[in-house]
Structure 1
Amino acid sequence: MSVPASASPATDPYRSAWMSLARLAPYRLLGAPAARFVVERNLLLWRGQWVVLVSGVFEPLLYLLVLGVGVGGLVGELTDAAGNPVAYDAFVAPGLLGAAAMNAAVFETYNVYFKISDKLYAAMGATPARPRDIATGEVLWAVLRTGIYAVGFLAVMLALGLVRSPLAVAVLPLAMLVGFAFATTTLAATTFMRTVNDFDLLQIVVVPLFLFSATFYPLEVLPGWAQVVTTLSPLYHGVEALRQVSLGVLDWTLALHLVVLVAVGLAGLAVGARRFEALLRD
C-alpha cells in the first residue's frame, strides 16, 4: 500500500504525528490489526486538505444558528430530564452534533463503493492486509473524521455558551460511537448496491432519521406510536446520549443508549466485513 513521495519523513515533518494519531484506534480489539495502514493511507492523502475535512461542521452550525437562535426565540425554554429549564439552542445543539456524526460517517463510508469499482482494493489485496482489515480501516477512518467534526462543533458550542456541564467532554467519544454505528451499517448497505442510483436509497433513510430522531424536539411531544418508531432509530439513541452528557443530566437510559449503539456498530461491522470480503474475492 504505497503512499505519495511527499509523505516521506524527509519532506513531511508531521508524518510521525499523523501516524501516532492513526495508531490510537483499537485495531486488535476489532480483529483487524492491519487496518491501521488503511487509516494511515487516508490520513496521508487528506493531511493537506483540512478545510475540506472540517467543512462538515458548517452545515450543523448553520442549523444551530437558524433553529437554535432564530426559532429558539419563538419556542422559548424546554426542560431536561430533571425538570430544569433548558434554552432551546442548548437542547438542540447535541442533537445537531449527533446528526453531523451520522452524516460524516455515512457519506464518508459510501465511498467504499467507488473504491471497489475503481479496483483500488485490488492493489491493497496484494499486501498482507486482509479484506476485513481493509473494511475495518475504512470504517475507522470514517469514525476519525467524525471525531474531527465533533471537536469543531464542541468548540462552537463552548463559544456560544451552550455547554452546561464538564461532562460535555464526553460528547467527543460519544459522537465517534455514533459515527461507528452508522459507518458500519453504511458499509454493509454499500456492499449490496449495484449502481450509483442505489445511493438515492441512502437519502431516503438519512433524511427521515435526521428529522425524526428527537433532534429538534422532545420525544414526549410525539404520539405514542411515533415515540415507539423513533426509539428504533440508532440516531435517536445517539442524540439522547449526547444530550444527557451535554446538559449534565444522566440517568439509567444512558447505558441503554450506549448498548444500542455498540450493538448496531458491531452487527454492521460483522455483516459489512463478510460481504466486503466476498466482493473482493469475486
Structure 2
Amino acid sequence: MSAWLVHTLKLREGGGRHVPLVLERNAMFYRRFWPVILTGFFEPVFYLLAMGLGLGALVPAVEGPDGRAVEYLAFVAPALLAVSAMNGAVFESTVNTWVKLRFWKTFDAMLATPLRPLDIAIGEVTWSQLRGLMYAGAFLAMAAALGGIPSWWALAALPAAMLVGFAFSALGTTVATWIRDWQDQELVQVVILPMMLLSATFFPIDVYPEAVQPLVWLSPLFHGAALLRGLTLGVLEPVLLVHAGVLVVLTLLAGVVAARRFERLLKP
C-alpha cells in the first residue's frame, strides 16, 4: 500500500509542475459561463433562511458542542457552511469533470501539450475545491450578516472549509471516472441529499438513535460540520483535530485513487 501511494504521488516526468495551467484553462473557460458557478450556491442559503431563521424562531436553543445552549441559527449556520463547500466541490468535480472526460475529450487535448495525467488530476481536484471555497466564502459572509457567526474564531472557518472542499473534490473527481452516463449522475444526488440531512446538520448527534450515531460518524460531511461548528462557536476542543484529520486522510486517499484512474483512462 505504501509503495503504491509513493508511486502515485511521485511527480515523474515533470508531472504536477503544470497544474497552474489547468487552473488557468478552467478560469478562462468560466469567464463566459460564470452564471453556471452560481447554480449551487443558493440551496444552503435557502436552508439557512428556512431552518435557521424560520424554524429557529420556534426553537429557543439547542445544545452546542460543549454542552452549552446556543441559538439555533448559530448551530445550523456552520453546518450549512460545510454544505456550501461540499456543493461547490461535488457539482464541479462530478458533472463538469465527467463531461470533459467523456464527451468533450478536453483531457485528451490537454495531453497533446506537456501536461500529464497527474497534472490534470491535481488541477481538477484543486479547481473543484476553489468552487467550493467561493461558495463557502459567500455563505460565510451572509451567515455573519444574519448573526449566525458569534465567535471571532470564525476567521479560521474559511481555511477549514477548504479541507471540506478538498475532501469532496477528491471524492467527486474519483467518482467521475466511474460514471457511465447521465443516469449515474442521479446516483450522486441520491447520496448527497441524505448525507446533508443525516450528518448532524440540523440537529445535535445526540438526537439520533444510538444505533445510528456510529453511521453518522462515517459521513465526511459530519466531520466538516463539526469542525466548522466548533470554530464558529469558539469551542476549541481536541476533537476538532480528529475531524480535521479525517478530512485530510480522506483527501489523500481519494486523491491517490483519482490520480491512478486518470493515468489509466488517459493513457496515450
Q: 1:260 to 1:57 in 2, by over 3 A?
A: same
CA distance in 1, matches of 2:65, 2:183: 42
Larger displacement relative to structure 2 (203-212 or 73-82): 73-82
CA distance in 1, matches of 2:41, 2:177: 28
The structural deviation recorded for 1:54 is 3.9
CA distance in 1, matches of 2:210, 2:16: 42
Partner of 2:68: 84
Q: SS of 2:200's equivalent?
A: coil
1:267 and 2:253 matched: yes
Report percent identity of matched pairs.
Answer: 47
Q: What is the one-letter code of the residue matched to 2:196?
A: F
The structural deviation recorded for 1:55 is 4.4
Q: What is the one-letter code of the residue matched to 1:178?
A: V
Larger displacement relative to structure 2 (53-62 or 63-72): 53-62
CA distance in 1, matches of 2:206, 2:120: 42
Partner of 1:123: 109
CA distance in 1, matches of 2:100, 2:44: 28
Partner of 2:235: 249
Unaligned runs of 5+ in 1: 1-27
Tell me which of 172, 182, 196 is aligned to 1:210.
Answer: 196
Unaligned runs of 5+ in 2: 1-10
1:38 and 2:44 matched: no
CA distance in 1, matches of 2:143, 2:127: 24
The structural deviation recorded for 1:49 is 5.0
Q: What is the one-letter code of the residue matched to 1:87?
A: E
CA RMSD, Structure 1 to Structure 2 (Å): 1.6
1:102 and 2:102 matched: no
Q: 1:41 to 1:188 in 2, by over 3 A?
A: same
Q: Is the 8 A contact 1:54 1:152 kept in 2?
A: no
1:5-52 residue CA offsets vs partner (Å, 9 max, x unmatched) = xxxxxxxxxxxxxxxxxxxxxxx8xx7221111111111222355554
Larger displacement relative to structure 2 (78-87 or 208-217): 78-87
1:126-149 residue CA offsets vs partner (Å, 9 max, x unmatched) = 111110110110110111111111
Per the normalisation by structure 2, the TM-score is 0.90
1:62 and 2:46 matched: yes
Larger displacement relative to structure 2 (223-232 or 75-84): 75-84
CA distance in 2, matches of 1:191, 1:46: 22
Q: What is the one-letter code of the residue matched to 2:99?
A: F
Pairs aligned (count): 253
Q: What is the one-letter code of the residue matched to 1:114?
A: V
Q: Is the 8 A contact 1:32 1:136 kept in 2?
A: yes
Partner of 1:114: 99
CA distance in 2, matches of 1:96, 1:272: 27
Per the normalisation by structure 1, the TM-score is 0.85
CA distance in 1, matches of 2:177, 2:255: 12
CA distance in 2, matches of 1:161, 1:192: 42
Tell me which of 165, 179, 187 is aligned to 1:179.
Answer: 165
The structural deviation recorded for 1:107 is 0.9
Partner of 2:210: 224
The structural deviation recorded for 1:84 is 2.7
CA distance in 1, matches of 2:51, 2:113: 49
Question: Equivalences for 1:3-22 in 2 at 5 Å?
Answer: none
